[in-house]
Each structure stands twice: as C-alpha cells, then as structure tokens.
Amino acid sequence: MFDCYVRFNFHVGLAVVALTRVTAFNFNISLSFLFYATVFCIAFLGYNFIKFFSLYLENRFNKSKFFPLLFPPIIIALIVVFIGLSSFTCAALGLVFLAGILVLLYSIPLTKKRKNLRALRGLKIHLVALAWLIITHYLPLVFSETVDLDNSIFLSLQRYVFVLVATLPFEIRDLNSDDFQLSTLPQKFGVRNTKLFGIILIIFHLSISFFIIKTPLDFFIIESFVLLLLMVLIFKSNEDQSEYYSSFWVEGIPILWCSLYVLLG
C-alpha cells in the first residue's frame, strides 16, 4: 500500500496541496475543502498522465498491472476536478488550463522523433517549477480579495526557487538514467556543483524572507528549519540513493512545512 501511495503519485498530490496551503497562510486566504481536493486531483491526474504516457511511448506500459489499481482513483479524481472547476472563476480556469498545457508539452512528442519540451536541453527542471508555481502560488491568489503585489512578486520568486531546489535530488538520482541530451544540472556541472548551487539558492530564498519580505519571526523560524532540512537532503543525495529518498522524503518537505504552519495556528 505504501509503495502504491508513492508510485501512483498520491504523495505528490498531497505535497502540491500542502504548498498551496502555505501560500494561503502567507496571504491569509481562506479556501474551501473542495478547492484543495480539486488541487490534489489535478496534481494526481497530471503526474500520473506524465508517468504512464511516457511508459506507453517506451512500450513499457502494462495495462493489466497498473490500471486495475489506478482506474477507480482516476475516475473519482476526474469527477472531483469536474465539480471543483465548475466553481472556479475564469482567471482560475485560465491558470489550470495553462498548467495543463505545460503538462501536455512536457509529455507529448512534438516531432516525429518523439521529442517533447522535456527533451530540450536544460528545460526539464524549469517546466516542473513553472507548473508548480502556477498551481501552488498563483491559483490560490486568484481567490484572494486583497493581494500585496510587492510581496506576491518576491514570494513567487521564492516558490520558483524552492521547487527548483527540491527537484535537484531527483536530477541527481536520475543522473545515470537520463538522456544526456537533457543537459540536467548534474550532467552539465556535476553532482558537487549541483549541490552547491542548491545551497546557494536556499540562502537566496531565506535572504528574501529576512531582508525584503520581512517574514514574521515565527513563520521565518519554520521556513528556515524546513529549508535547512532540504539543504541536508540535497547534501546527502547521490546517484545510488534509496528508492524512497527523493520520491517520499524530499517530496514530503512541503507537507512538513504546511503541518508546522498548521500547528503554529
């Protein structure tokens, strides 16, 4: 059951919801359970589409193995998304549509050689960060009556940086399996320099909070703890990491972040 929870992207869905909730905390936005359920289902469907469509393209998709387990949750998720989106504003629907376009461009081949945007040199990590930014940052802001535009700009930059950093352990893990033409950061600069880059980005993230946004002390302490933990996970990541190192522990960082905010009240 745990393996299915991770492998079929339920954990990713919760991580996306958690990071969306962090945005709601930052801007004091009240969002409904249906909104969070819709965000979870969007992430769940999107990530499973990316995963299983790629297996289909590689002729490694075993329908008898995967679909009996995934079919009921997918049907339920589609129903929830349909109900949830019916209550969204035009602006919110536009953001979901844009994120969906990114998922399609990430997965569907654009040429006869089965090349998609993911295959373009150095673009993979930025597509992921942009999709997460749209859903976890801009989508909840659409439902806010008042938004501090200055803080929104810096917080969106932080969110983009956070997702980039959290993606690095995955790129290190996939160093030997990724096509070299992807030109991922570990392929281009090496594992050591990639880790150093991640640490610099974390320091940059915290600097924005402390010097520019001036995050309240209690929130800043939680944010610092979460990012320092992510820094440790990046530092300890390698090509031979355990099966759940990135897919569970690194992916769970947003869930920890949100949980600490909830405990803070």
Average pLDDT, rounded, for the chain: 89
Segment 105-111 shows an average pLDDT of 71
Asked whether 25 and 261 are in contact (CB, 8 A), the reply is yes
Q: Tens of pLDDT along 12-50?
A: 999 999 999 999 999 999 999 999 999 999 999 999 888
Q: Tens of pLDDT along 155-179?
A: 999 999 999 999 999 999 988 877 7
Q: Tens of pLDDT along 204-255?
A: 999 999 999 999 999 999 999 999 999 999 999 999 999 999 999 999 999 9
Q: What is the 3-state secondary structure (H, E, C) of the chain?
A: CHHHHHHCCHHHHHHHHHHHHHHHHHHCCCCCHHHHHHHHHHHHHHHHHHHHHHHHHCCCCCHHHHHHHHHHHHHHHHHHHHHHHCCCCHHHHHHHHHHHHHHHHHHCCCCCCCCCHHHCCCCHHHHHHHHHHHHHHHHHHHCCCCCCHHHHHHHHHHHHHHHHHHHHHHHHHCCCCCCHHHCCHHHHHCHHHHHHHHHHHHHHHHHHHHHHHCCCHHHHHHHHHHHHHHHHHHHHCCCCCCCCHHHHHHCCHHHHHHHHHHHHC
Q: How far is CA 95 from CA 1, 25, 117, 181, in A?
A: 33, 20, 19, 30
Q: What is the pLDDT of residue 224?
A: 97
Q: What percent of the chain lies above the pLDDT cut of 90? A: 69
**69 against 76, higher pLDDT:** 76
Give me the count of residues in the chain.
Answer: 265
Per residue in 35-55, is it b (16+ CB within 10 Å) or e — as a string?
bbbbbbbbbbbbbbbbbbbee
Q: What is the pLDDT of residue 98?
A: 96
Q: What is the rounded distance in angstroms from the CA atom of residue 237 to the CA atom of residue 201? A: 16
Q: Is the pLDDT of residue 66 over 70?
A: no
Q: Is the pLDDT of residue 110 over 70?
A: no
Q: Is the pLDDT of residue 183 over 90?
A: no
Q: What is the pLDDT of residue 61?
A: 58
pTM for the model stands at: 0.93
Q: Where are the domains of the chain?
A: 2-264
Q: Is the pLDDT of residue 113 over 70?
A: no
